Chain A
Amino acid sequence: MRCRKAQKLIAVRVDRALSETLEEQVTRHLADCRACGDVSAQTGRLGRELDTYSTPPIRGGFTERLMSRLDEPRVAVTVSPWWAAVLRPAPVVLGAAAFACGVVVPLLGNGGSQIAVPLGREVAGGSAGQLASALAEDSVEARLLELLPSVEE
């Protein structure tokens, strides 16, 4: 048996999931191979290390709290999607855009003040830019979610 195969089987051996034949082959290999013997010992020790990871005690009343929630309308696990933070200022931006269209643009049309030109551009550009970036980020999230595999292997 080659070391590579033996070392894979050692992991299965830890879980007592090896067949009798394979168990015998691995044991024979371990008797002759110091490197695999080290891996075997370390794998055994890893199990003891993992045992040190305990969980804190769980609060009582889990079932009662859950049963009282059964009638609630189903709520998503997270409170709000990430893009909600981007769209939250949308009313302000839309208001500013309406202001630009209703007040600044007519002023420009009437050959209004020179100050209104950069102001009008800034507001109009800002709202359009924010909307575009919100949409772009929305598609970025969709693409990211596609790229991220469900099991990260």
Chain B
Amino acid sequence: MPRSEDQELLLRAGKGDRGAFGLLVERHHEAVVRFCYRFLGRVGCDAAEDLAQDVFLSAFKAAPYYQPQAAVRTWLFRLATNACLNQRRKWRVRRVIGLGGSERMEDVAMDDSGADASALRNEKGASVRAAVGGLPGGQRAAIVLRHYHDFSYTEIADVLDTSVSAVESLLFRARRKLRSQLPAFEIGNSPQVSADLRAEPF
């Protein structure tokens, strides 16, 4: 099977070619930062970017061991998912223990300046953000990968190291939970569903 351009770049990076690694970062960093931002929930863009930097540093370190069977995008997002899960776990443990340094979630969250604040002022976006952030890790990863990064079920299964049917289940439960939590779906806010809407193709 011919290797993709990304795979060639990563293999070269594994041999120490920093230029190739730089090109790879240039191609994927925006997606990884956005993924971290959405996955971590209540953090500012800077915290998401810091974590994304760590993801790429891990990628550079792991590049010599990369097996070209896996798609580079899937491989990178698996690293990113693990990094996000670990980060949230650390925050949670600190919260449970009642200790926390400067990296507590609350401390890095919600800087009220600039673009973050303007994004939060968008009430609808903020409620969606809170609802997505409240999903369990697997469901959150699945919905973010599917909806915002257009991953196929098979790709999500590869990232989460699970089966396609498990991904279907994760997405089903995630959507059900989101519907139950978003104000737009509360009784009274939901418009009457017409027969036309029901027949609406997706």
- Which A residues are closer than 8 A to B by beta carbons? 7-8, 11-17, 30-31, 34, 37-38, 40-47, 49-50, 52-59, 62-63, 65-67, 69-70, 74, 77-80, 82, 85-86, 137, 140-141, 144-145, 148, 150-153
Are B100 and A82 in contact, CB atoms less than 8 angstroms apart? yes
Is the C-beta of B97 less than 8 angstroms from some C-beta in chain A? yes
Chain A proximity mask over B34-49: 1 for CB below 8 Å, otherwise 0: 1001100000011001
With CB as the reference atom, state the residue of chain A lying closest to B129. Answer: A53
CB distance B30 to A65 under 8 Å? no
Complex Cα–Cα for A40 and B201 (A): 10
Please report the C-alpha to C-alpha distance between residue A30 and residue B56 in the assembled complex, in whole angstroms. Answer: 46
Whether A78 contacts B93 by the Cβ 8 Å rule is no
Contacts A56-B45, A66-B57, A141-B97 hold; do A40 and B198 have CB atoms under 8 A apart?
yes
Q: Can you pick out 24 interface pairs between chain A and chain B where the beta carbons lie within 8 Å of each other?
A: A8-B172, A11-B175, A12-B168, A30-B198, A31-B198, A41-B193, A42-B193, A46-B178, A50-B147, A50-B178, A55-B34, A55-B37, A56-B45, A56-B114, A57-B45, A58-B34, A59-B46, A67-B18, A78-B90, A78-B101, A80-B101, A82-B99, A137-B97, A153-B136
Contact of A14 with B138 at beta-carbon distance under 8 Å, contacts A46-B175, A52-B122, A57-B115 already known: no
Q: Judging by beta carbons under 8 Å apart, are B115 and A56 in contact?
A: yes
Query: Which residues in A have their C-beta under 8 angstroms from that of B21?
Result: 67, 70
B-side interface residues, number (CB < 8 Å): 82
B85 at the interface (CB under 8 A from A): yes
**Contact: B122 with A151, CB < 8 Å?**
no
Q: Smallest CB–CB gap between A18 and chain B, Å?
A: 10
B33 close to A62 (CB less than 8 A)? yes
Say whether B25 contacts A49, CB under 8 Å. no
- B179 touching A46, Cβ below 8 Å: yes
Whether the Cβ atoms of A86 and B99 lie closer than 8 Å is yes
CB-based contact A16/B202 at 8 Å = yes
Residue ID in chain A nearest B146 by CB atoms: A15
* In the bound complex, CA of A46 to CA of B185 (Å): 9
B33, closest chain A residue (CB): A58
Whole-angstrom distance between the alpha carbons of A12 and B202 in the complex?
10
Contact status B99-A65, CB under 8 Å: no
**A41 contacts B200, C-beta separation under 8 Å:** yes
